[in-house]
Structure 1
Amino acid sequence: MSRWRSFGGRAAAWLLLTTVLLASCALADIPKTPGLSAGGSKKDKLKAEKLPPCKACTALVNSFRDGIKRTERSKHDGGDAAWEEERLGSYKTSELRLVEIQERLCQDVVRGEDQCHQLAEDYEPQIEVWWKNHQTTHPDLHQWLCVEQAAVCCPDGFYGPNCDPCPTCFGNGKCKGNGTRKGNGRCACEPGYAGENCDSCAAEHYEAFRDETKLLCSPCHRACATGGCTGAGPNACRVCRSGWVMDSGRGGCVDVDECLTNNPCTKQQFCVNNEGSHSCLECDKSCDGCSGDGPDLCDKCADGYDLRDGMCTGAETRSEDAAEDKPKTDDRTADDEETIATVEEIQPNEEL
C-alpha cells in the first residue's frame, strides 16, 4: 500500500512539473508588444510623469477649457429646445454640459495625464462651485482655481510663496519662478545680456541702443576675439581672431589673404580667399596646375590636352570642332535629282 502511495506522490509531482513547463513555454511564445520595454512605452512614461504643481494645475485647466470649446455649440438632447431651456435652465451653465466636459477631461493631456485625472478628482468640488456660481464674476478659471483656491500658481509677473512681484529684467530676461509659487525671482538673462537686472551687455557683445527702459546688445563682428569690441564691424575689435590681423594704422582687424601670403593649396588646386579663412578648390581636369576655375586658367595642359585659343582642349573636343567647321556636302541621289526636275517642269510659271 505504501508503494502505491509513493508512486502516486511521484506521479502528482511529475504532473505539476509538466504543467509548469508547458505554461512557461506558452508564455514564451506570446509575442511582445512592439515599443514596450521593461520600463513601459514612451506614451506610458509620459502619462505617468509628475509635473510641478502649477504646471499640473495649468494642464487641468487647459483641458477643461478645451472641453468648454468642444461643447459650446451643443444643447439639450430633447426635441423642444425652448421648453428645455425654460424648464432645465441654460445648457451653457447646465450640469449636463459639465458632465460632458468631465467625461473627456485630461484625455488630451500628453505629459502627466494620470496626475491630471487625480487633480480633476481632488478639485472636483471647487470646479463645480466655479461652474455654478463664478463663471460670470470670475471668468478666468486658472486664476480662480490654480492661483486663488489651490494656491499653486501666481499671476504672470509674480513669483514665490507670497506671489511677490518679479523684476523687469530690462525686457532682456525672465524672472525665475514667474507665475509659480517657486523660484527666487532673479533674472535669467537672454544670450548677449548680463547683470543682475539684465541691464548690461555680455562678453563679445556691444551696446547698440539704450534708453531709460530698453537696452539692445548686438554680437561683435566675427573678426573679434575674446576681449570684445566697441561697436559694429571689424574696425571696432579690441583683439583679432586667427585669420585676421590688427591694422596698426587705422586700428581694427583686417582679413589675412592666405592665398597671397602663403598659398596653402596643392598643385592641382587653386586658392580662394574667404573672410577670415580660405578654400582650396580642384582644378579643371584639363589642367596640370591652375590659377583658377576652368580650362582657360591652366598653368599648362594635362596629358591628352593641347592649348588652343587660350584653352586646354582634348582630342574629343577638337574632333567636334572639326566636324562643325567641315563644309556640308550635297548627298542627293540621282533619283532625287530626277524628282526635282519633274517638279520644276510641272510647276506653273509665275511670270505668266
Structure 2
Amino acid sequence: MALMQCRIFIAILVMSFVSHINGIEKPKNPDSKEAEKLPPCQACKTVVNSVQHGMARTNKRHFGGGDTAWEEEKLGDYAQSEVRLVEIQEKLCAEVQRGQNQCYSLAEEWEQLIEEWWFKQKELGDLHSWLCIKKVEYCCPDNHYGPECKPCEGFPDNVCNNNGQCKGSGTRKGNGDCRCNAGYSGPTCSECAEKYYESYRDEKKLLCSKCHPACKGSCSKAGHKGCNECNSGWMKDGERGCVDINECTSKDSCKTNQFCVNNDGSYSCLACDNSCEGCHGDGPDMCNKCASGYVLKDGLCIGVQTSSSDWTRYLTYLGLCIATCIIFQKNTLIASVIGLSVAVYVAVSEYMLSTLTNQNQFFQNSIDSFLKNMN
C-alpha cells in the first residue's frame, strides 16, 4: 500500500514538472523583427497604424442584414462605444512585425491617452497629430524637424527647392539640412552637381540633366558638343566636340589570336574562331591564316577531316561503278538498272552538296555585309 502511494506521488510530481516546463515561454530572439527597437516617431506611428487597423477590422461588426434604420441607429452607438474600443485593444499590435514588443509596451503605456482620444476624437482630430506630435512629442508635422519642430528650408511649398529631402522631416531628430537628389548640390539643392548641366531654370524650378558619357567632369549643354573636357577614349574636335577614338586602328590593341571591336569610349577584344591563326573578325571566313589542322577552301578555313571526306565520297562512287561493271558481265539488264541508279545517286548527291555549300556561302556573305554596315 505504501509503495502504491509512493508511485502515485512521484507521478504527480513528474506531471507537475512537465506542465511547468511547457508553461515557460521560450525566450525570443533579441535579433528578431519583433524585438527590433524602432526610432521614437516610427514607433509611435506603428501604434497609431495598429489602432487604425483595429478600427478597420471592427468596422460595421455585428451588423449584416435586417432593419436598415435600426442598424444605422445601433451602428452609430457602436462606432465610438467602449465595447468597440475594447475589441480594438484586445488585438492591438498583433499584426505588427517589426518592433512588435515595443508596440505592446507603448500601447500599454499610452492606454489612457488612447481612451481619451477615442471618446473625444471628433474634437481632437487625427490620432497621429494629437498623440505623436502634441501629447508624447515623438514626431513633428511633415517638413518640420528637431526638438522644437522648426520648419525646413523653403517651407511650405519649396523645401530644398523640391530637389531634395529635409533631414529629420517629421521627427524630433535631424538638423534640417537638405539631402539632395542625384544631380543636385548646394545647401538648398539649388545647383547642379558635377557631371550634370542646367537644362531648365525659372524662379521656382531648377532641372539638372546628366552630361554625355564623353564628358569628363562638367559640361554646358546636352550631347558630346557640350563637354568642357573629353573623357578617356574620346578626343576633342573643334566642330564635333568630343569624338570617339577608334582604338582598333592600332595593331597592338589586342593579342595575337583576338580581334578588336570598337565601342563608344572604349574597345573590346574577342577571341578568333578556332579555325584561325590570327583574324580580323568573327568566323572561319575572317582568318588571316588557317590554324593547324585546317585548310582554306572557298574562302573558309575548314578542318582537314572535312577535306578528307571528299576523297571518301569519291571512293564510294568508284566502288559503286566497279560493282556495276562486275554485275554487267553476269546480267546486262540488271547492270543497266543499277548503273542508272548509281548515276542518279551521284548526280543528286553532288547537286545537294553544291546547293548546301552555296547557301552557306550566301548566308555568311549576308552576315558579313550586315556587320560591315553596322560598323
State the 1:83 CA deviation: 7.3
State the 1:172 CA deviation: 0.5
Partner SS for 2:256: coil
Correspondence 1:216 to 2:207: yes
**Count of residues in correspondence between the two structures:** 290
Which residue does 1:234 correspond to in 2? 224
Unaligned runs of 5+ in 1: 1-35, 338-352
CA distance in 2, matches of 1:141, 1:282: 68
1:259-298 paired onto structure 2 within 5 Å: 259-298=248-287
State the 1:103 CA deviation: 1.8
Which residue does 2:235 correspond to in 1? 245
CA distance in 2, matches of 1:108, 1:296: 68
Contact 2:259 / 2:281 at 8 angstroms: preserved in 1?
A: yes
State the 1:324 CA deviation: 9.4
State the 1:209 CA deviation: 1.5
Correspondence 1:62 to 2:49: yes
- Quote the sequence identity (%): 53
State the 1:153 CA deviation: 1.3
Which residue does 2:136 correspond to in 1? 150
Q: Report the residue type matching 1:150 in the other structure.
A: V
Contact 2:215 / 2:224 at 8 angstroms: preserved in 1?
A: yes
CA distance in 1, matches of 2:270, 2:189: 46
State the 1:179 CA deviation: 0.9
Which residue does 2:191 correspond to in 1? 200
1:108-119 paired onto structure 2 within 5 Å: 108-119=95-106
Map Cα deviations across residues 19-65 of structure 1 (whole Å, 9 max, x no partner): xxxxxxxxxxxxxxxxx99x94531xx33333222111111111211
CA distance in 1, matches of 2:30, 2:137: 33
The 1:324–1:101 alpha-carbon spacing in structure 2 relative to 1, beyond 3 Å, is: farther
CA distance in 1, matches of 2:68, 2:104: 33
Match of 1:307 among 296, 315, 336: 296
Partner SS for 2:243: strand
Contact 1:160 / 1:182 at 8 angstroms: preserved in 2?
A: yes
CA distance in 1, matches of 2:86, 2:163: 45
- Relative to the length of structure 1, the TM-score reads 0.72
Which residue does 1:96 correspond to in 2? 83
Match of 2:149 among 144, 151, 163: 163
CA distance in 1, matches of 2:98, 2:129: 22
The 1:132–1:308 alpha-carbon spacing in structure 2 relative to 1, beyond 3 Å, is: same
Match of 2:166 among 151, 165, 175: 175
Which residue does 1:140 correspond to in 2? 126
The 1:200–1:262 alpha-carbon spacing in structure 2 relative to 1, beyond 3 Å, is: farther
CA distance in 1, matches of 2:116, 2:266: 69
- Relative to the length of structure 2, the TM-score reads 0.68
Partner SS for 1:307: strand
The 1:221–1:85 alpha-carbon spacing in structure 2 relative to 1, beyond 3 Å, is: closer
Which residue does 2:243 correspond to in 1? 254
